[in-house]
A and B are shown apart, each in its own frame.
Chain A
Amino acid sequence: MEFGPIWRSLKRNKAGYILIATQIAVTMAIMINSVAIMQQRAQDMGRPSGMDEANIFTFSSTAFVPETDMQSLIEEDLDAVRRLPGVVDVNATNSFPLRQGGSASGFALEPGAGKDSISAAYYFVDEHGLAAFGANLVDGANFAPNEVIWAAEDSDEWPGTAIVSQAFAKALFPEETGSYVGKTMFFDESRPVQIVGVVERLQAPWKGWEDVENAMFVPLKRDAEYQRYVVRTEPGMRDTLMPQVEEMLSQSNKNRIIEDVRTMEDVRTLAYLGDSAMIKMLTFIVTLLLVITGLGIVGLASFNVSRRTRQIGIRRALGATKTQVVRYFQVENFLVSGLGIAAGAVLAVALNLVLVNSFSLRPLAWYVVPVAMLVMWSVGQLAVIGPARRASRVSPAIATRSG
């Protein structure tokens, strides 16, 4: 196919083609950056929390009668829940992954004020914590029952041991190639904390936190009025046990209220609701955009066909085949799209730079731009096929009529 005549004919009617090329370029820029955002969200949503999410539910207990003996209340609760058939284990804690609220602190390698520290979230648990969270211990050992201490709500007591996430251990001791067990870090400037175990994964409660993979279990129980319970059940038992536990505990002690009874799956859905909504909205926008741009190409091509009916007839009369007529419109579209796509790639990368600099977007993956180029070319070719076919059906006899 000769590009020359097509190119020259394009140049004679610049405005229309520039418009469609610009439209393709802006569509590309939006599409590529939307895809980049969607990819990032999907990636974040796919990160495991380190808990056995499918079989866990959680709830909160708030005591409101002054002078309630929290220690025995908590022990009785744990005991009663643990006794239920189908419960694997239960723990009372301050928070858990994906909850979007909790506590964190800095941990340093040396004692003393002003030392560089690395942040990690902490969960207060007892020797049942690992089983209740369903965390996977990959090194070291679980807390021994006598390692766990009881502390008043605002006491400054802090145990000397911890089970940490692998990511946190690695962040603390990047040079270490062997075991992290036995290593010491410092809390609150001067209190040594020894790593006694490492779990494969344990997320902090905040999904958007930069240090989200840094977390640890601390062998401490607080007699605070406000407790979060984490209950892990045998597979398939969660939905039966959830209302049962709620009912049982609401009745067993009237000095508190049970609230926020949720499966871990619901906790996850809620935590990532904004991200999944973003993915859906962007999918919707990109789809609409491709449809509109596609229809725009169809519209413009249809006009060109009807405007050139006589020319096409003459070409057919001079011996051009139907395929050659179709090809003409395809090549024309290929050239116009090509211009738009080239400009679109540049525009997309520029927009991406802006988004990366001003917002928390990560840079584009290398393959997004080429894939988007292919998609745009395909949309163009698909859109032009109908009008081109119509053009090919123009009768050669048209050439003999006067316009």
Chain B
Amino acid sequence: MFRYYLKLGVLSIRANPALSALMVAAIGIGIGACMTITTIHHVMSGNPIPHKSEELYFVQIDSWSPDEPYDEPNEPPEQSTYIDATGLYALGKDEFPHVISYKSGRVLEPKTEGELPFQVSSRATTHAFFRMFDVPFLHGAPWDAAADDALERVTVLSRPLAERVFGSDDPVGRSVVLNGETYRVVGVLADWDPLPKFYDLNNNPYEEPEQLYLPFTVAIAGEHGSWGNTNCWKPFDGGYEAFLGSECVWIQTWVELPTAADKARYEDMLEAYVEEQKALGRFPRPMNNRLSDVEEWMQIEEVVDEDVSVLLGLAVLFLVVCLLNTIGLLLAKVMRRGKDISLRRALGASKQSLFAQYITEAGLIGMAGGLLGILLTWLGLRGVENLFTGMDFVQRLVVMDWSMVALAVLLAVASALAAALYPTWRAANVTPASQLRIQ
């Protein structure tokens, strides 16, 4: 029977090619618009470290000014002062592994004759960074705690940088010159591209990870300036030493707390730390400590671009318009065929079989619309990419994965069925022979 309905459906679609094309186009365009934005939204709000995101916590303590909060209504600073980042790091050393880090930059001088020096982005961080954030290695391994303590000039390179400088050779054990200083390469990362770049959201959350990594202690000793935000509320004297002792916030602090019990104990430790600092005359604001896991932190930092949220809302409404359009047209079509339907009913066709027949026809239109929608989504993403020529990170957001293709198909079928339900119901309810008399 299904094949017969399919045949009827195809015939009916062929009988009204312009109208059928309009319905397919409406569903296709609606789904294309919706899925283009949904895909971008999906990439922007993705969980970059799903298996561990609930064990990693971003640490905030309120070292800000007594006169006003860092941010309304009473938000603590997004980053830490040098005093607090290193203070917490030392305090948790045995029990709570911390990562304290910031983004910076260096100029790399290739040793090959004739090659020009170039700028690279660098991350000054503590050794646990790689283990805590599950960073994969192609060659070598992270440096260890002893290297942090001894201010060893060691570095881990990203794969693209390693290939640029050393070609396809394993560079572990060789050295690079950064701003006139020699660093020993201890490792090369395999491809690693967390999206969003959750461990540092204060620059662009969609930019690529840094090109190289070096010990936090070495960066501080070498006075590497931060490439991120530095926010201060209290005046301080000139010089780097004074800056390190200042109330300026500029370092990201993360801690790994696998269980709820760990979290509770860490919270106590944080409170004790803040109390201690209060006794020393710092932390003029009321106690306001925050621990946010990866997904909470991305929410707080609003990593999904506001424009994308607005566009997503508009695109959903757009799909609604397209569906209303399709419902209206299907309905009109059914109403016009009232005579056929009542004749078939009069000849013994059941409501169910009419329902099946028309839903099959609508399903065909929905499938065609869905396929068109996937094609248009792909085109839409290329269009967005094109509009943002010059902003390289956008290329990373316009990637359609299989889950999005599946969602597009699902949305197409659901849309077609939703659109077909009412007209089909109306068709099935045409009374037999009611329209057979001459008008």
Q: Which residues of A contact B (CB under 8 A)?
A: 13, 15-16, 19-20, 22-23, 26-27, 29-30, 33-34, 37, 62, 64-66, 113-114, 152, 154-157, 188-190, 226, 257, 259, 269-270, 273-274, 276-278, 280-282, 284-285, 288-289, 292-293, 295-296, 299-300, 303-304, 306-307, 310, 355, 359-361, 402-403
Q: Say yes or no: A273 contacts B390, CB within 8 Å.
A: yes
Q: Say yes or no: A19 contacts B306, CB within 8 Å.
A: no
Chain B 173-207 interface 0/1 with A at a Cβ cutoff of 8 Å (1 = within): 00000011100000000000000000000000000
Q: Say yes or no: B180 contacts A65, CB within 8 Å.
A: yes
Given A274-B305, A285-B314, A307-B335: 20 more A-B contacts, CB < 8 Å:
A16-B335, A29-B317, A30-B314, A30-B318, A33-B314, A64-B117, A64-B180, A65-B180, A156-B238, A278-B307, A280-B387, A285-B318, A292-B26, A296-B22, A299-B332, A303-B329, A303-B332, A303-B335, A355-B310, A403-B438
Pick the contact of B309: A19, A300, A304, A359 (CB < 8 A): A359
Tell me whether B166 is interfacial, beta carbon within 8 Å.
Answer: no
13 contacts between A and B (CB under 8 A): A34-B314, A66-B179, A113-B67, A156-B238, A274-B388, A277-B387, A284-B383, A285-B315, A285-B318, A288-B29, A289-B318, A296-B325, A310-B439
CB-contacts of B278-310 with A (<8 A): 305-307, 309-310
Residues of A within 8 A of B33 (CB): 285, 288
Q: Which residue of B lies closest to A269 (CB)?
A: B390
Tell me whether B19 is interfacial, beta carbon within 8 Å.
Answer: yes
Q: Say yes or no: B179 contacts A296, CB within 8 Å.
A: no
Tell me whether B66 is interfacial, beta carbon within 8 Å.
Answer: yes
Pick the contact of B328: A16, A190, A270 (CB < 8 A): A16
Residues of B within 8 A of A293 (CB): 321, 325
Distance of B147 from chain A, by nearest CB (Å): 22
- The CA-CA distance from A282 to B105 in the complex, in Å, is 38
Q: Total number of A-B contacts with CB less than 8 angstroms?
A: 150
Tell me whether B320 is interfacial, beta carbon within 8 Å.
Answer: yes
Name A's interface SS: helix
- The CA-CA distance from A26 to B322 in the complex, in Å, is 10
Residues of A within 8 A of B22 (CB): 295-296, 299
Chain B 134-172 interface 0/1 with A at a Cβ cutoff of 8 Å (1 = within): 000000000000000000000000000000000000000
Q: Say yes or no: B119 contacts A62, CB within 8 Å.
A: yes
Distance of A145 from chain B, by nearest CB (Å): 24
Distance of A390 from chain B, by nearest CB (Å): 13
Q: Say yes or no: B235 contacts A188, CB within 8 Å.
A: yes
Q: Which residue of A lies closest to B438 (CB)?
A: A402
Q: Say yes or no: B236 contacts A281, CB within 8 Å.
A: no
